[in-house]
Amino acid sequence: MPKLVNHEARRNLIVETTWRIIARQGFQSTTMREISTEMGLTHGALSHYFASKDDLLLASYVYVFDRTNKRIEARLGNRRGLEALQAMAEEMMPLGDEQRLEARVVLPFWERCVTSERFAAVHGEGMEGLTSQFVRFLEEAVVSGEATQNLDVPKTARTLLGLISGMQVLAVLTSSDYPPRVLKQMLEDFLDDCVAHPRREHSE
């Protein structure tokens, strides 16, 4: 009797394996043959799921993005305003070993966004969703009095997204200079100096 294959599970396992290989040795050094060998698949079997290395990079980025969103959802709970904003930002930041590995997938994805409309569209949609969440939490903070009343909410949301994106680059290129405590302090400083009014107490 022929062996039944759960194609969705296998596809997910390929993506999981791929992003860890990319995180370990970089996108350029990762080959389709290496991935198929590590998976115990033939090259033809791998190509059945992903036709090219670009397809694998795109799927790996989406996988990492989804992992981040699940962490955010689990962390947020009933939080609102600045508390929710800080919790969401921390789940996006490269504070732990897994998040720093994920950043090593994000960087080559960003590079491909420069030359690929398909990659850029996926990136744009994801960033729009994150920015919208930032805007919602900032607006809640303004209404509750946690944030200054004349806060430029859209600009502040974009600035925070840029800060976190920069953290991902720094965590990959100069990780020893930017340990988690330094990154957390950068976020605290941003919230205190650019958002909060009156000056809020630091969260534990």
- pLDDT, tens digit, 9 for 90 and up, residues 168-193: 999 889 989 999 999 999 999 999 99
- pLDDT, tens digit, 9 for 90 and up, residues 55-106: 988 998 998 999 999 999 999 999 999 999 999 999 999 999 889 988 988 9
Domains, the chain, with CATH or none: 54-195 (1.10.357.10)
Give the pLDDT of residue 33: 87
Q: In angstroms, rounded to a whole number, what is the distance separating the alpha carbons of residues 98 and 30?
A: 19
- pLDDT, tens digit, 9 for 90 and up, residues 30-62: 888 888 888 888 878 888 888 888 898 899 899
Indicate if the pLDDT at residue 24 is higher than 90.
no
